[in-house]
Structure 1
Amino acid sequence: MIALRPVGPLWRTASIAIALGVLAPVLSLGWLAFGADFSHWAHLARHVLPQAALNTAILLLGVGVLVLVIGTGCAWLVTTCDFPGRRVLHWALLLPLAMPTYIVAFAYLDLLHPIGPVQGAVRWLLGFDSPRQFRLPDLRSMPGAILVLGFVLYPYVYMTARAMFMTQPAHLLEAARTLGENARGAFFRVALPLARPALAVGLSLALLETLNDIGASEFLGIQTLTVAVYTTWITRSDLAGAAQIACAMLLVVVALVLLERHGRRHQRYGSAQRMRGITPRRLHGSAAWLACIAASLPVLIGFAAPALYLVWETVKRLRLGEGISDGLLASLGNTLALAAGVTATTVAAGLVVAWAVRNQGSGINRARWQARAATLGYALPGTVLAIGLLTPALSLDALLATLLGREGLPLMSAGIVLVIACAIRFLAMPVGGIEAGLSRIPPALEQASRLLGESAAGTLRRVHLPLLRPAIAAGALLVFVDAMKELPATLLLRPANFDTLATWLYAEAARGTYEEGAIAALAIVAAGLLPVVLLARSGLGAHIEGPTS
């Protein structure tokens, strides 16, 4: 086979620059944190970090246990059992992915308010007249935050666990049953140990999303490290202190990334022949309906109830003739413009990195660090990225202002820094998708093009881009939707008088005005449904009936 000619220096330089650009916020954050006065560290160590770190640890532990129980249990149930509603529930269990955590918290704060519909109905059934006589426990608490985040983030574990359960050979479980194990013992001693690597990957993703959350934690009154970063920077105007808290967050991120890498390292199980998969066992009577209820509850709590609330509030506002305010329309336009800019930037950068790494000739193994570095942004919480980008952005803004001969912050005020922050955070999606797409294209096509005199850029344009359209489109869709939902980085880096749907909802919730916030939330959820539907159709649809003998 003829080796591919390496790409030119321009492609390599661009790829290296993108990879270093992703690492730059972390280096800047360290310089800002450790360059500050030591008194900052002493104050944080006494008054801020202990409580914030403890709250974060408890939240991560609680959410981790909940997503493991719900995700693993539902995956095992729909894989091994046949019951009414299974055909719908196998993909409906993914729907909470369309609900950002802060939107679910926003919805349940109103639904479960002491004078809200749920508590009102409970008091009516019990014969009480006022909240003073009976009220449910306050949702603004650590258990409330764990429940909200757990029922929204369990699909990360559900996806990886179900994929692993569907590929496990049935004869392993049958051998365990033959040796005297009951169904429960076969699950805990055979199926679950085999699925542990996949569970570790799904768990780490769910915990990274928990660590990145700011809206739900603040709405529910939990002072996590992420909330502490925001309040230290915005409320107390202490950038150095916020950077130091962000450095503490990086330690948690490193631990979660190591967990994910460990899971991926042991995720492959080989076999010399094709094995028969698990055949779902048909349930009857009360067992079938109990299974249906158990698998339906996560969908009801994590998606259906908050989504119906948003629809109801939106319809109620429109029926009252209040319509949609000009500010909300402006926020929608800003959201679409931001998402489009982030998508274009991220897809272009992902294409450069994936193509440059693929075409490094004999140095392809040494060049893989560029792709790995470019994908690290997804593990960085938005608050960490924002603080890490602020110092270099302000320095560059000062230089541009001097060159242009005018005052102000050209990059910050134009939203360019916000676009860069979101692009760094979501670059892993197009890089991974395009790399996977390139791996499926036969090298012979590229070799023939280069032997006929075509350059690397010409080969990419005329041969690969037409074949990469599905991968690029999928990556662009995921980036567009995630950019619409992004809250932490947008709160910290948005220009003055610039609101997106996410920040509009955040402001409405902070003021306690839920009606117009529901419209913004519903628009975000509607956009988030698109990739979830595509994921359900492409990832799980082929296995709806279960493996056949």
Structure 2
Amino acid sequence: LVHSVSFWPIPALLSWWGFLKLDREMVDQLRVEGVSIIQSSLFLCRLNLVPISVSMLLVVIFSLGDIGAAELLQVNTFPVLLYTELNLIRTLGPVIRMSAPLLVFMAVGIAIWTSLRDRIRIETETFEPLAAQDRWISPAYSRWLLSLLVLVGPGTVLATESVQIVRDLSTIHLPLLTECLSASIWTGIGAVLLGALFLQCGLLASGNRSVAWTIDCTSFLLFAIPAPVLALGLLKMFSSMGRIALPLLDSFWILSLACAIRFYWVAWSLVQSGRDRIPQSLEDRMKTEGLSAWQRTRHIFNPLLRPQIMAGLTLVWALSLGEVTLTRILQPPGVQTLAARTVNFMHWGHDGMVAAGLVTVALLELLPLLVYIGWKSVWGRIQ
């Protein structure tokens, strides 16, 4: 039930995005012929089966990898058992063996995702209709993404936990929360900066189909594997570097790097959805004029894909602030995020502090959306 409430925007968003790609004349023809709403909906869903299937795959991955909700509800899921075992042994081999069935499923998921995404691709005839369409669709797509994927989860938390705060107001100690705010904010900012850098590198390499396919598969795997496996792998890799990696391991940057690596695929898939809509004629023109990868990224991709890039980085921000498993495994000395401390409050039985922590994290996740709404309102008045 928790996963259904949290993740229902994913199939809703991808289905809506798929419906936008359908031929508008065909939709109008169905209306003219007097086809009932149920019949037309079933027909459109059949045509839109690929994005719906992709959305179901994403929901399964999010649900299989979730540990925060399971701990808060005190349910022993596989990620919780894996995290418990990791705390006992702290070696990568047994953890990978425990995760073998899940890793096999993720490998199958990679094949399914890449084949489905290739079938979603559409090509347009000229550059002008694409640019005109992008000015309307891409901002709308970004607004839907921000309002559904970001707002629904934090909004549900704000609606349910605010009552708990009022009930247990006397048990809330603000200093215990505020001392974790800086770590959470800096972790989120670092993840966004690294995510933006990774996206630029991905766009630079996207001209080569084989390289783009490799980025797709690798980023999908890093996103889909259990968070304890990713965290322990990073810990082992940087620990083997000796003193060179000590500044990274002792700062919030290790958390930012882990979050940027894990959630990069979420942002990259959004950018790729716009990248695939660039017409082949424009691709051929860029090759004919001899534009370098940097020139293509700077002058073509970044202006056209700005809404998708901003939406993807917003999701990286929100997911990084709510990440618990990576934080608790990679936690540097003296650095604890608000999400991790909120889970500790839950284990200690401080319901009021748990509610206050959840509401604070939700408000931080909504911060980019609130800034965007404020900026749009001010800009609208100026114009």
TM-score clears 0.5: yes
**Distance change in 2, residues 1:305/1:225 (3 Å):** closer
Aligned residue for 2:140? Answer: none
Letter in 2 for 1:503: A
Q: Deviations over 1:126-156 (max 9, x none)?
A: xxxxxxxxxxxxxxxxxxxxx1212221111
**Distance change in 2, residues 1:528/1:445 (3 Å):** farther
State the shift of 1:169 in Å: 2.3
| Correspondence 1:372 to 2:216 | yes
TM-score (norm 2): 0.72
Aligned residue for 1:389? Answer: 234
Letter in 1 for 2:249: M
Distance of 1:534 and 1:165 partners within structure 2: 29
Q: Deviations over 1:264-296 (max 9, x none)?
A: 344479999xxxxxxxxxxxxxxxxxxxxxxxx
Distance of 1:271 and 1:374 partners within structure 2: 28
Letter in 2 for 1:337: W
Q: Show the 5 A alignment for 1:69-468.
A: 147-165=1-19, 167=22, 169=27, 171=29, 187-188=41-42, 190-237=43-90, 239-267=92-120, 306-315=157-166, 320=170, 324-325=174-175, 327-358=176-207, 364-373=208-217, 375-376=219-220, 377-396=222-241, 398=242, 400=244, 409-432=246-269, 436=274
- Superposed CA RMSD: 4.1
Residue pair 1:200, 1:260 contacting (<8 A) in 2 also: no
Q: Show the 5 A alignment for 1:515-534.
A: 515-529=352-366
Q: Compare CA radii of gyration and give the structure with the larger one.
A: 1
State the shift of 1:231 in Å: 0.5
Q: Partner of 2:117: helix, strand, or coil?
A: helix
Aligned residue for 1:20? Answer: none
Q: Partner of 2:159: helix, strand, or coil?
A: helix
Q: 1:499 aligns with which of 330, 336, 356?
A: 336
Distance of 2:195 and 2:63 partners within structure 1: 23
**Distance change in 2, residues 1:302/1:365 (3 Å):** closer
Residue pair 2:205, 2:212 contacting (<8 A) in 1 also: no
Q: How many residues were matched structurally? A: 339
**Distance change in 2, residues 1:503/1:191 (3 Å):** same
Distance of 1:336 and 1:228 partners within structure 2: 29
State the shift of 1:446 in Å: 6.7
Distance of 1:271 and 1:427 partners within structure 2: 27
Letter in 2 for 1:212: G
Distance of 1:341 and 1:369 partners within structure 2: 26
Distance of 1:464 and 1:412 partners within structure 2: 34
**Comparing 329-338 and 411-420, the one that deviates more:** 411-420
Distance of 1:236 and 1:367 partners within structure 2: 37
Distance of 2:59 and 2:112 partners within structure 1: 12
Residue pair 1:317, 1:515 contacting (<8 A) in 2 also: yes
Distance of 2:7 and 2:61 partners within structure 1: 10
Distance of 1:337 and 1:512 partners within structure 2: 28
- The gaps in structure 2 that reach 5 residues or longer are 126-151, 374-383
Letter in 2 for 1:481: A
Aligned residue for 1:99? Answer: none
Letter in 2 for 1:250: L
Q: Deviations over 1:147-174 (max 9, x none)?
A: 1212221111122233445647254588
Residue pair 1:197, 1:262 contacting (<8 A) in 2 also: no
- Calculate percent identity across the aligned residue pairs: 23
Distance of 1:461 and 1:194 partners within structure 2: 35
Letter in 1 for 2:199: G
Q: Partner of 2:240: helix, strand, or coil?
A: helix
Q: Deviations over 1:20-73 (max 9, x none)?
A: xxxxxxxxxxxxxxxxxxxxxxxxxxxxxxxxxxxxxxxxxxxxxxxxxxxxxx
Distance of 1:510 and 1:244 partners within structure 2: 28
Distance of 2:159 and 2:70 partners within structure 1: 22
**Distance change in 2, residues 1:535/1:204 (3 Å):** farther
**Distance change in 2, residues 1:535/1:425 (3 Å):** farther
Q: Partner of 2:174: helix, strand, or coil?
A: coil
Residue pair 1:257, 1:379 contacting (<8 A) in 2 also: no
State the shift of 1:445 in Å: 9.7
Distance of 1:459 and 1:313 partners within structure 2: 52
State the shift of 1:521 in Å: 1.0
TM-score (norm 1): 0.52
Residue pair 1:418, 1:493 contacting (<8 A) in 2 also: yes
Residue pair 2:157, 2:358 contacting (<8 A) in 1 also: no
**Comparing 513-522 and 434-443, the one that deviates more:** 434-443
**Distance change in 2, residues 1:430/1:221 (3 Å):** closer
Q: Deviations over 1:57-109 (max 9, x none)?
A: xxxxxxxxxxxxxxxxxxxxxxxxxxxxxxxxxxxxxxxxxxxxxxxxxxxxx
